């Protein structure tokens, strides 16, 4: 099926657990599911290997209370099937984990994907055989899949960052990770809960944990810029309008910098205003604060680009924290400073700061004395011991490179991807790497990925890979791989585009830069020129005969 003109050599397996397909896909999240559907449509055989017990990737794993997408539901959904778009009904402006998990399960059923998905199957090695030009994928169960092509749909935020705190195993209570939240009942009612981490996961779960806990202690190392989502039920008229014009909306998504049209009525998505804050009077700034609350910090044309303007925006933000949190000292401790708005991925919340006004919530400001050790009964910090029943780690991910580097990918000459990336990831277009022919990454480092709507990015990458496989088949090529020059140029270009922005400011430490993982090289991982510019480049390269790739 893979190559009508020039059948590729098939491997003969004595072992019955071995399977040979055209494409092996690692991961059954949004990218892997669509890849399976799309490659099947193109006439390729494919199998998906998934470590989790269900489909949905991020939305399978991150089932902590309050887990919610920060992109509106209408935007954060597949555009490949008009029937799917028409039949699926979203209930909220920003979809929660449960609804998203339901959506991806519906997709798996509706398109009969499950028969080619192996759940609970962690990949242990991905190895290229240069003589046969095939990839071999080994699983934890001892299964072996061989394929001409390998697509790593492993997700940019899939490997949890578990801080190596002394005494971690000593704790006699329950330890949970937000991104590995147990399915089913975890009784938190009346418990003393310690939450470590105040990024998106920690911020989202804080109000939910506070609502059930006997007492919630939030261990904060760095205060967060977070904006109210104003989430609520999705206006049926907005949904109907999208259903009437999905094709147009999907086109507009690909023309929008972040893959989001902004036409869902979600206030958070509205762009900055036209007026520079540097030219605004104090009265005008305060008037904006009255009108837009936390959003006043970003409602100016220059906050995203000018450091002085950014600091003025941050002042408005901190003024709003003081208005929201009743205890002035607590407000001060919760106020982010020392790094610009926009350095880290913006967080959106529901009643985050308000939650700290509750009697059963205590902020443990780690800047006043950090975590020293986990004990049998709680957490010992430089400011005393906190007795706990449950510790929740909301400590983030080894982003963008974590899964790819860990999985054990070996290409030509047995070179490990982990070693090839020792000084930072090197890709061509975030799609392929030198030395790893016929292996593709979806939303890999060097692509817009986490800076844009992940569903739109996933569809765009999967469609590019599908067209590439069909091109190879049609022209009798067996392998595709970037040239070292093209990859070098792309890496340099990605670095250049990231320079001089809030994302790479010297005071910025974010997971975009790998700064959250000890020892990880400081490299800005995604491509910052925006989705339309990226798509234009990719299309020019493709129509130019796959410039920068070697097809053989």
- Looking at the Cβ atoms of 196 and 296, the one nearer to ligand NA7 is 196
- Looking at the Cβ atoms of 402 and 446, the one nearer to ligand NA7 is 402
Select the span of 119-127, 192-200, 378-386, 532-540 touching ligand NA7 (CB under 6 A): 192-200
395 binds ligand NA7 (CB under 6 A): yes
Residues 74-103 that bind ligand NA7 (CB under 6 A): none
Tokens describing residue 389: 């029943």
Q: Find, among 354, 406, 316, the residue nearest to 211 by Cα.
A: 354
198 binds ligand NA7 (CB under 6 A): yes
Q: What stretch of H or E contains 441?
A: strand 439-441
**Residue 415: how many other CB atoms lie within 10 Å:** 16
Work out the angle at residue 228's Cα, subtended by the Cα atoms of residues 105 and 221, and round it to the nearest 5 degrees: 90
Site for ligand NA7 (CB under 6 A): which residue of 67, 516, 528, 549?
516
CA 399 – CA 239 distance, rounded (Å): 33
CA 382 – CA 409 distance, rounded (Å): 42
438 binds ligand NA7 (CB under 6 A): no
CB of 521 to ligand NA7, least distance (A): 17
User: Site map for ligand NA7, 351-370, x if CB under 6 A?
Assistant: ---------------x----
Note whether 300 and 280 are within 8 A (CB).
yes
- Looking at the Cβ atoms of 66 and 466, the one nearer to ligand NA7 is 66
136 binds ligand NA7 (CB under 6 A): no
- Looking at the Cβ atoms of 196 and 469, the one nearer to ligand NA7 is 196
Select the span of 132-140, 194-202, 306-314, 441-449 touching ligand NA7 (CB under 6 A): 194-202
- Looking at the Cβ atoms of 73 and 201, the one nearer to ligand NA7 is 201
Burial class (CB in 10 A: 0-12, 13-18, 19+), 328: exposed
Site for ligand NA7 (CB under 6 A): which residue of 71, 107, 196, 462?
196
- Looking at the Cβ atoms of 221 and 537, the one nearer to ligand NA7 is 221
201 binds ligand NA7 (CB under 6 A): yes
434 binds ligand NA7 (CB under 6 A): no
Site for ligand NA7 (CB under 6 A): which residue of 66, 155, 340, 396?
396
205 binds ligand NA7 (CB under 6 A): no
Select the span of 16-24, 120-128, 334-342, 395-403 touching ligand NA7 (CB under 6 A): 395-403
Site for ligand NA7 (CB under 6 A): which residue of 227, 242, 511, 527?
511
Note whether 116 and 36 are within 8 A (CB).
yes
- Looking at the Cβ atoms of 202 and 435, the one nearer to ligand NA7 is 202
55 binds ligand NA7 (CB under 6 A): no
Select the span of 45-53, 140-148, 214-222, 324-332 touching ligand NA7 (CB under 6 A): 214-222
- Looking at the Cβ atoms of 49 and 347, the one nearer to ligand NA7 is 347
For the chain, the helix, strand and coil percentages under 3-state DSSP, each to the nearest 5: 35, 20, 45
157 binds ligand NA7 (CB under 6 A): yes
For residues 298-310, one letter each, b for 16 or more C-beta atoms within 10 angstroms of the residue's C-beta and e for the rest, the string is bbbbbbbebeebb
- Looking at the Cβ atoms of 195 and 462, the one nearer to ligand NA7 is 195
Q: Find, among 481, 460, 440, 479, the residue nearest to 152 by Cα.
A: 440
User: What is the dihedral sign for C-alpha 465, 249, 102, 66?
Assistant: positive
Q: Find, among 408, 345, 522, 495, the residue nearest to 135 by Cα.
A: 408
By beta carbon distance, the residue nearest ligand NA7 is 199
How many residues of this chain bind ligand NA7 (CB under 6 A)? 21
- Looking at the Cβ atoms of 334 and 486, the one nearer to ligand NA7 is 334
Site for ligand NA7 (CB under 6 A): which residue of 154, 200, 453, 478?
200
Torsion angle, CA of 406/409/415/417, rounded to 10 degrees? -50
DSSP for 150-213 reads EEE---SS-SB-----TTGGG--SEEEEGGGPPSS----TT-EEEEE--SHHHHHHHHHHHHH-
Note whether 24 and 101 are within 8 A (CB).
no
CB of 304 to ligand NA7, least distance (A): 17
Residue 29, CB-side half-sphere exposure with 13 Å CA sphere:
24
Site for ligand NA7 (CB under 6 A): which residue of 221, 243, 358, 471?
221
DSSP for 402-426 reads HHHHHS-EE-GGG-BHHHHTTTS--
Residues β-bridged to residue 127: 136, 410
Site for ligand NA7 (CB under 6 A): which residue of 155, 194, 199, 411?
199
Helix (H/G/I), strand (E/B), else coil: 531:
helix
Select the span of 122-130, 217-225, 483-491, 543-551 touching ligand NA7 (CB under 6 A): 217-225
- Site residues for ligand NA7 per CB under 6 A: 157, 163, 196-202, 219, 221-222, 345, 366, 371, 394-397, 511, 516
């Amino acid at each position: 099926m893979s190559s009508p003109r020039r059948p590729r050599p098939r491997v003969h397996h004595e072992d019955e657990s071995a399977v040979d397909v055209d494409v092996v896909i690692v991961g059954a999240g949004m990218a892997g599911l669509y890849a399976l559907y799309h490659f099947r449509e193109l006439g390729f055989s494919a199998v998906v290997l998934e470590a989790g017990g269900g489909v949905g990737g991020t939305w399978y794993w991150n089932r902590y209370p309050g887990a919610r997408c920060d992109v509106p539901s209408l935007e954060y959904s597949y555009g490949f099937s008009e029937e799917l778009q028409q039949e699926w009904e979203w209930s909220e402006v920003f979809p929660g984990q449960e609804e998203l998990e339901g959506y991806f399960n519906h997709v798996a059923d509706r398109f009969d994907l499950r028969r080619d998905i192996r759940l609970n199957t962690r990949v242990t090695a991905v190895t290229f055989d240069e003589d046969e030009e095939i990839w071999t994928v080994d699983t934890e169960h001892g299964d072996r899949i061989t394929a001409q092509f390998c697509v790593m749909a492993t997700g940019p935020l899939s490997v949890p960052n578990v801080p190596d705190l002394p005494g971690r195993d000593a704790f006699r209570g329950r330890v949970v990770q937000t991104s590995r939240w147990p399915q089913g009942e975890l009784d938190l009612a009346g418990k003393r809960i310690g939450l470590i981490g105040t990024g998106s996961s920690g911020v989202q779960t804080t109000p939910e944990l506070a609502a059930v806990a006997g007492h919630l202690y939030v261990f904060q190392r760095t205060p967060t810029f977070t904006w109210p989502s104003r989430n609520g039920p999705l206006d049926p008229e907005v949904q109907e309008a999208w259903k009437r014009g999905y094709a147009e909306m999907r086109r507009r998504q690909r023309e929008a910098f972040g893959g989001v049209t902004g036409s869902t009525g979600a206030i958070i998505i509205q762009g900055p205003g036209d007026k520079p804050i540097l030219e605004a009077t104090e009265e005008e700034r305060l008037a904006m604060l009255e009108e837009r609350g936390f959003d006043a910090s970003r409602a100016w044309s220059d906050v995203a680009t000018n450091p002085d303007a950014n600091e003025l925006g941050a002042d408005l933000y901190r003024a709003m924290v003081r208005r929201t949190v009743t205890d002035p000292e607590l407000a001060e401790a919760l106020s982010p400073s020392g790094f610009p708005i926009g350095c880290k991925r913006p967080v959106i919340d529901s009643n985050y700061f308000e939650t700290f006004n509750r009697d059963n919530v205590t902020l443990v400001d780690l800047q006043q004395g950090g975590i020293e050790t986990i004990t049998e009964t709680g957490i010992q910090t430089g400011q005393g011991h906190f007795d706990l029943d449950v510790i929740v780690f909301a400590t983030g991910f080894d982003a963008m490179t974590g899964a790819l580097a860990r999985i054990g990918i070996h290409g030509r000459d047995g070179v490990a991807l982990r070693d090839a990336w020792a000084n930072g990831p090197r890709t061509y277009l975030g799609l392929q790497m030198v030395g790893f022919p016929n292996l593709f990454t979806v939303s890999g480092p060097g692509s817009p990925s986490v800076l844009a709507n992940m569903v739109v990015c996933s569809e765009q990458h999967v469609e590019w890979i599908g067209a590439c496989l069909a091109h190879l088949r049609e022209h009798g090529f067996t392998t595709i791989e970037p040239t070292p020059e093209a990859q070098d140029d792309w890496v340099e270009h990605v670095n250049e585009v990231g320079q001089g922005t809030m994302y790479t400011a010297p005071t910025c430490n974010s997971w975009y830069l790998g700064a959250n993982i000890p020892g990880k090289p400081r490299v800005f991982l995604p491509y910052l020129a925006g989705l339309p510019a990226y798509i234009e480049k990719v299309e020019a390269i493709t129509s130019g005969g796959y410039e920068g790739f070697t097809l053989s």
